[in-house]
Structure 1
Amino acid sequence: MTQATVRPPDARAVAVRAGLSRGLTETRHSLTSAGDIIWYLLMPVIFAAVLLMMQGSTVPGTDFALGAMVLPSLIGMSIAFGGLSGPASVLAIEREDGTLLRAKATPNGMLGYLIGKIVNIALTTFVSLVVLIIPAWTVRDELRAGEPRAWLILVAIFVLGLVATVPVGAALGSLLTKTSQTGLVFMGSMLLIAPSGIFYPITALPEWLQWVGQAFPFYWLGLGARSALLPAEMVTAEIGDSWRTVEMVGALGAWAIAGMVLAPILLRRMARRESGSSVAERRERFMNRGY
């Protein structure tokens, strides 16, 4: 009789499972940390308060609720904001405290690390969106929130938005050399919100600003969320009187491809530069601040 050969488990499959487990564990810990909860929920709570204060206000020239007009845009903006700033901030912090170096030292550790971060960012962004969607109950009669099709589109926007932004956020994070620079990503994201038609119809902006807004994911994710939740007649406030679904998928797909090409290159370069001495040097700088 011949003895059956037992094949060892594939190392990459093991890393993927470890990454999924790590992402779930990190999310669970984050949702029990007061500091993390405040960070995840701060912006959604502020936006929710603004939407609640908009009760009774209408879009000028119409009887459509102003809060109902703004809410879908905020959903799209939150997806883009979480996907871009989340990975950038986490990579900068964990590069500085040595977490990234420990992942690098483990076989396929970087693969597991990145999968864990993707899972963590997706789940925490989803929690933030749930908080943001709560005020939708006050304007439910204005939105198509009762239609299954609307929720299917929102799920697709959520997935496509993360695919388009998380790799770019990781690429940006790999370029940061210290945690204090994470504010640059935050401020850059906030500046891009203005021309993206989030709080005001983009068609009311100067044409050159419209082109600036259309160059970034904030506009396209806001447009996608509006196409899911707003009634059909509100399309007149959009460019070309159209939801431009094909263009939206194309633009977000282009961002996704760019991020997936650049992120692995930049992350590998960052990982090669990591060493015990560089982590110790950063830790010493941190300890000496203020002295």
Structure 2
Amino acid sequence: MTSTTAAVRAGLARGRAEVRQTLTNGQDLWNYIFPSMVFLIVMFFMRDSTVPGTTFSLGSRTLPSVIGMGIAFGGLVTLMMQLAVEREDGTLLRAKAIPNGMLGYLIGKIVTVSGMTVVAQSIVLIPSLFMLDGITIDWFTLIWVMALGLVATLPLGAVAGSMFSNTRNTGIIMLPVMGLVAISGIFYPISAMPEWVQGLAQVFPIYWLGLGMRSAMLPDGLSAVEIGESWRHLEMLGVLGAWAAAGLIVAPMVLRRMARRESGSSVAERREKAMQRVT
């Protein structure tokens, strides 16, 4: 068995163990359940409103966009936060000491975040199928969009997480992410926005994840409010695939560079600063 194969197997095992641990830890599980419950409550109150010009439930129209946003947040924000925390507490330094340890660590995190993202979105989706009308799921489209979306966003989360050695600074990323959510047609049809905003939103994965989820869950007639009046699966595949390819090339290089800068003294210094903040 090569060291790379061993690292991959160790990463998969680590990821499965972390998923089990999260599912049995009340505080960690609550961090995933609470946002899902908030979205369920919002859509419950939206269920009797209709999309302007139609009789289709506004809650049903919002559901797939919320799930697309949840996938993007899982890949971008959750992985970023976990990397920053474990860089600060020395977990990354320990991974660095093992042959191909960073590869195993990254695979483990991808498995963990992907697994818990699926769990979190299932908490939103399953009750909504009983609560909302008009949802008809194309499972093939839903699965390939979710899988490709995670591959497109997880490396970006890894790159963002490697930029911060202090968890307090990760909030810097949240502002641009929320800005992208606002212009990506998650809660408001993007076709009603200025053309330059539409062009900007289409560069990033969040818009395409929302569009992909809408194409998997909504009637074809509702594509009339989208750009080009279609679901544009080929363009979706191209943009998400490009982000995935770029991320898979760049993320390992960035993580290796970050790992080379890690040392026992730098971890000790960050711990001391963290203790000073607490006291």
Q: How would you bin the TM-score normalised by the shorter chain?
A: over 0.9
How far 1:25 sits from its partner (Å)? 0.8
The residue number in structure 1 matching 2:99 is 107
1:87 and 2:87 equivalent? no
How far 1:290 sits from its partner (Å)? 4.9
**Count of paired positions:** 278
The residue number in structure 2 matching 1:67 is 59
How far 1:136 sits from its partner (Å)? 2.6
| CA deviation map 1:35-58 (0-9, x unaligned) | 211221222111111011112111
The one-letter code matched in structure 1 to 2:31 is W
Point out the more displaced range, 256-265 or 87-96.
256-265
Alignment CA distance shift 1:290-1:77 (3 Å): closer
The residue number in structure 2 matching 1:193 is 181
Match of 2:44 among 46, 52, 55: 52
Q: Which runs of 5+ in 1 are unaligned?
A: 1-8
Distance of 2:161 and 2:122 partners within structure 1:
26
Match of 2:264 among 265, 273, 276: 276
Q: Is contact 2:67-2:121 (8 Å) kept?
A: yes
Distance of 1:75 and 1:282 partners within structure 2:
36
1:41 and 2:33 equivalent? yes
The residue number in structure 1 matching 2:203 is 215
The residue number in structure 2 matching 1:248 is 236
Residue correspondence of structure 1 range 1-291 to structure 2 within 5 A: 9-133=1-125, 134-139=127-132, 141-145=133-137, 150-291=138-279
SS of 2:257 mapped into structure 1: helix
Point out the more displaced range, 259-268 or 270-279.
259-268
SS of 1:193 mapped into structure 2: helix
Q: Is contact 2:16-2:112 (8 Å) kept?
A: yes
Q: Is contact 2:76-2:157 (8 Å) kept?
A: yes
SS of 1:106 mapped into structure 2: coil
Q: Which runs of 5+ in 2 are unaligned?
A: none
TM-score, normalised to structure 1, is: 0.92
| CA deviation map 1:167-216 (0-9, x unaligned) | 11101111112111122223332221110000111111121211121121
Q: Is contact 2:47-2:60 (8 Å) kept?
A: no
Distance of 2:105 and 2:18 partners within structure 1:
11
Point out the more displaced range, 48-57 or 177-186.
177-186
How far 1:34 sits from its partner (Å)? 2.3
| CA deviation map 1:66-110 (0-9, x unaligned) | 111111111111111100012111110000000000000011111
Distance of 1:50 and 1:71 partners within structure 2:
10
When the two chains are superposed, the root-mean-square deviation of aligned CA atoms in Å is 1.2
SS of 1:200 mapped into structure 2: coil
Point out the more displaced range, 177-186 or 217-226.
177-186
Q: Is contact 2:93-2:259 (8 Å) kept?
A: yes
| Identity %, equivalent residues | 54
SS of 1:31 mapped into structure 2: helix
Q: Is contact 1:44-1:129 (8 Å) kept?
A: yes
Distance of 1:170 and 1:106 partners within structure 2:
19
Q: Is contact 1:71-1:136 (8 Å) kept?
A: no
| CA deviation map 1:100-123 (0-9, x unaligned) | 000000111111111100100010
Distance of 1:40 and 1:161 partners within structure 2:
19
TM-score, normalised to structure 2, is: 0.96
SS of 2:24 mapped into structure 1: coil
